[in-house]
Amino acid sequence: MAEEYFKKALTLSRDIGHKCYELKCLCNLSVMKLLQFDTKEACSFLFQSIEVFDTLRGSLKDSDQFKTSFLEEHGASPYKLLSQLLSKTGKLEDALYVEELRRARGLAELMAAWYSVEEPISGNPKSWCDIQNIVSKERSPACLYISVGEKDVRYWILKATGAILFTEKEVSLEKNVETGLVPDLDQFFTKSFRGLGNLPEQNCEDRSLDNTESMLLHYENRALLRDCHDNHVKKNLDLCNKIILAPVADLLKEPEMIIVPDSSLYQVPFAVLIDKGGKYLSQFSKFRIVPFLTTLKLIQDSPPEYHTQTDALIVGDPEVGEVIYKGRRMIITSLPCARKGAEILGRLLGVKPLIGEHASKQAVLQAIHSIRSEGIIGIARAFLGSGARSVLAAQWALDDAATEKFMTCFYKHLYRGESASESLNETRKWMRNNGFEDVSK
């Protein structure tokens, strides 16, 4: 009976041209078919829902912000469900491509426009290409692609040879002590590492725009909470080691790789995950994190002359002064350590940095550790969408002295012609060997 009503509603929504209702009806029918164990029909309705969703996104024209929020609110579910069904039926490459569709559409359009190339991703299955070819064109010999469900994690390992390995893991988390509920995996990953690496205010300049009163209370309680928080983080890191690294440890032996995490993993500090031998991931593997593989393809297909090889722009400690934020006047303080860092890099690269009054307000970003939603991926997305090839950002608050040493070492390697991932790996080694063993600082 319910199926009959959904099909009538689908017909009516198509007759009146109401795409949102059509999308909802198709999603409902796909779920109903799953409950009837009719996988073939469920996939058919899901493919149709993605096609309708593409039409809706197209009607938003060039509004990237609306497209992104629309996908988050309406579009993620059918993509996730279809990818799961395809992987369970052995169509691993198709399942991976659907994952790319879910993650890539908005940013892929932005990047394609910047590079003046054709958008390489489409909802039409007939246009789907060999996604493993993207990895074969990179220096990294392997790629770990991770998708997180409510109770399971799926892993694709793409080799430069073109081989695709796949495995999945069912995960049962403990009940939340406060709520008595078992959290979904995406909730666990999203919330587990908020505030990682909290440091005393005097050790870390902070220009975030959090509520002033809340921040005062935050700093008063920070020292008291740090030990408890560190124990909590360690427990969560141990669990992440078991969920993320352990299932694929025997499949990933390469010294360099690309990691494509699901959005709920954006807060996970991959560099400090530990293998069964007790080594940090950053100690035995050079790795890059990308939001999706299409990012790499767009950069691969961009014209050689697009990215300048000669100039550098360095911005540090912009003079902002008084601003109105949430109806209140605030004085944005200066960042002496950021200014010093910009000056050091300017001397290293032979470029005059934009600092103080010479840096425009448009260059000002909130402190990275104040970002609450997409984290560093949110910042990386903005730069990648504007044509950057790579973005280096911290996942937690860092000691100012350590930051100065880190950036100086990193840019020395980059200036010598080493890649960003090679420079980062060498800088990590140098930091560990020169008194900065604590990765949270």
Binned average pLDDT, 10 residues per bin, the chain of 441 residues = 83 87 87 89 89 76 53 71 91 89 72 64 64 76 90 91 88 71 79 60 53 43 50 81 89 88 86 82 84 80 64 78 78 82 86 77 40 56 74 76 87 88 88 75 51
pLDDT score for 224? 42
190, 173 contact by CB (below 8 A): no
95, 86 contact by CB (below 8 A): yes
Question: What is the SS3 string spanning 4-66?
Answer: HHHHHHHHHHHHCCCHHHHHHHHHHHHHHHHHCCCHHHHHHHHHHHHHHHHHHHHCCCCCHHH
Give the residue among 43, 371, 26, 330 at the shortest CA–CA distance from 196: 371
400, 203 contact by CB (below 8 A): yes
By DSSP bridging, strand 321-325 and strand 328-332 are antiparallel
pLDDT score for 156? 94
Q: Which residue type is seen at 366?
A: Q
pLDDT score for 254? 85
pLDDT score for 256? 86
Q: Is the pTM of this model over 0.85?
A: no
pLDDT score for 211? 46
pLDDT score for 180? 65
262, 148 contact by CB (below 8 A): yes
Give the residue among 439, 339, 397 at the shortest CA–CA distance from 195: 397
pLDDT score for 70? 52
Query: What is the distance of C-alpha 356 from the center of its chain?
Result: 31
